[in-house]
Amino acid sequence: MVVKFKDCCALKPSHPTWQGCLTLSEWDQVGVITHVPTIYFYKPDHNFVTSSDTIANTLKDSLSRALVPFYPLAGRLHWIGGGRLELDCNAVGVRFIEAESSSKLDDFGDFSPSPEYHYLIPTVDYTLPIHELPILLVQLTTFKCGGVSLGLAISHAVVDGQSALHFISEWARLARGEPIEVVPFLDRKVFQALNLPAGSATLGLDHSEFNHPPLLLGQADNIEERKKKTTVAMLSLTKDQVEKLKRMANEGTKFNNSDTKRAYTRYESVAGHIWRCASKARDHKNEQPTAMGVCVDSRSRMQPPLPQGYFGNATFDVIATSLAGDLVTKPLGYASSRIREAIEKVTNDYVLSAIDNLRNQPDLTRFQDLHALGSDQGPFYGNPNLGVVSWLTLPLYGLDFGWGKEIYMGPGTHGFDGDSLILPSPDGNGSAIVALCLQVAHMDAFKKHFYEDII
């Protein structure tokens, strides 16, 4: 695919905004701190597009206006020592790229992520100092057939998925000529203000999520595993298959009025299935320790809950652990139970304790996932581990900037072994999509188990 870049500019807020340094919470500075890519494809009504510049001008004008209430996105990050960051709200702006392609939307088939996405989503040059990198990069690509794609890359050190989608949906509302629905709550001090009571027993809570995940047996590090070639697959599960996995996970488990247990959820069932299939595909020994990273939104788990529209990172990564032999020989409900146990750790006290733990760390570098930068430092959730992030409850679809809803939305390219997402189907019928990256050597075996093990 040939893509010609026409223009690149810095878009600033349309009106003056507050300037100064915004203190980031501990949550903003651990885990993934690089940019997260997403992409939307549109087939605008030709009656709407009165000129080739209409869409670009609409997007740029509304984005500049959206950056007024969401002004942190127009700033820049700075290292301040000890692996810590602060956000300079200096209104330098976001990067907006215009491009055109000789391809047609039909050339993308089912829109599964492919190497061609690299040309449609802005590239972030991590060799530059972090204070030179935009927080948000946008690329509008026009295709020969009149269709367009909107590729976004947004810094995970500034927002999590919930906040990113909040911003994108409000940007679209402005583009449609509507007012903002939920004003962002920008004061990260709601986390800074959360303190453990003196002498609280929660100080003694175990925070295994801060430890590096297991290595392959017999290996002293994961450097070789990081180097292995990976591939991405988009695997669909019908509503019936999702329901079968839930029945498999809950089989033999009794739930009644006197029992506090809840049936395993769609996420716990599907994620458990992914974990088991990965261990089988990787041909792990029975005694191989394996960990699965689980991302939990703490907004409603805090006491009191975080304010509506909290704009930042409020997701909390916890770790489910098992021996591979237990995963593959025991029923699916065992894997789901390990995931449930990890999720249920995330209480108000547990989050406060984790924040306290991070505040007392002299350096946060070892808690930051920098493998997107080609580093061999930071956590690595490739073989024998994986991360399964749920997008099941996020408002992913129906993003209308004035020329209709997208015909496809999905994650951008991700090439890191063990990364996976569970997305709801766009038609909302209960089916699901698993976006998964594994080493090339293991993908075929994974696909085989993924479908054949649903009985």
Active site amino acids: 156, 400
Q: Which residues does residue 388 pair with via DSSP β-bridges, in sequence order? A: 294, 420
C-alpha 88/C-alpha 133 separation (Å) is 12
Residue 201 to residues 205, 263, 304, 352, 394, Cα–Cα distance (Å): 8, 30, 20, 11, 34
Cα dihedral 136→139→140→141 (10° resolution): -160
Q: Which of 320, 302, 299 is nearest to 310 (CA)?
A: 299
HEC string of the chain?
A: CCEEEEEEEEECCCCCCCCEEEECCHHHHCEECCEEEEEEEECCCCCCCCCCCHHHHHHHHHHHHHCCCCHHHHCEEEECCCCCEEEEECCCCEEEEEEEECCCHHHHCCCCCCHHHHHCCCCCCCCCCHHHCCCEEEEEEECCCCCEEEEEEEECCCCCHHHHHHHHHHHHHHHCCCCCCCCCECCCHHHHCCCCCCCCHHHHCCCHHHCCCCCCCCCCCCHHHHHCCEEEEEEEECHHHHHHHHHHHHCCCCCCCCCCCCCCCHHHHHHHHHHHHHHHHCCCCCCCEEEEEEEEECCCCCCCCCCCCECCCCEEEEEEEEEHHHHHHCCHHHHHHHHHHHHHCCCHHHHHHHHHHHHCCCCCHHHEECHHHCCCCCCCCCCCCEEEEECCCCCCCCCCCCCCCCCEEEECCCCCCCEEEEEECCCCCCCEEEEEEEEHHHHHHHHHHHHHCCC
Q: Looking at the chain, how many residues does it have?
A: 455
Neighbours of 238 (CB within 10 A): 14
